[in-house]
Amino acid sequence: MAFQILLNFFIAVIWMFMNSSLTATTFIIGYLIGLILIIMTRRFFNSRLYVWRLWSAIKLTLLFFKELALSNISVLMLVIRPKLKLQPMIFALPTELEHDWEITLLSSLITLTPGTIVLHVSDDQRTLYIHAIDVDDVDEAIDSIKNSFEKAIMEVSRA
């Protein structure tokens, strides 16, 4: 994917030299033309088009904001209840993510959504230990994280 972005930049720079105008406007036009060329020749690359990856990164960001709003509301509901009947819990989340940055991203996202905190990453980086404020069903909590954040991160990192 880095190669595709670099190629797109090169095409844009060559376009700037062809037009002998070194301005931002020419660069953007050249970049868009390069994008069309790369989409046309997409079968020659052995990885996905980087546009899709960019798109899934945007989707991950939107998903995070949605989860942030929803879980803020649910924690607010917990806090304003007259009688606190919580069931706090520490559970292990098995993860399929491999790279360091993926695990860091996943644990940051889990920590930033209220109600859940990552306590520890196991030494083989296969398990995250998570503290949650109110859990009825462990499997459900694991599934909800796996289906939302982990899936979205894997979508971004897939080659």
In single-letter form, the type of residue at position 38 comes to I
**What's the half-sphere exposure (Cβ side, CA atoms, 13 Å) at 86?**
17
Q: Find the shortest distance in angstroms from Cβ 36 to other proteins.
A: 31
| Identity of the residue, 66 or 94, whose beta carbon is nearer to other proteins in the bound complex | 94
Which of 12, 38, 60, 103 binds other proteins (CB under 8 A)? It is: 103
Q: How many residues bind other proteins, per CB under 8 A?
A: 12
Tokens of 82: 């007259």
Q: Give the contacts of 154 (CB within 8 A, at least 6 positions apart).
A: 96, 97, 102
Tokens of 114: 């209220």
Is residue 96 part of the contact set for other proteins (CB under 8 A)?
Answer: no
| Identity of the residue, 100 or 137, whose beta carbon is nearer to other proteins in the bound complex | 100
Is residue 24 part of the contact set for other proteins (CB under 8 A)?
Answer: no
Alpha-carbon gap, residue 125 to 63, rounded angstroms: 24
Residues that bind other proteins (CB under 8 A): 100-101, 103-104, 107-108, 118, 120-123, 125
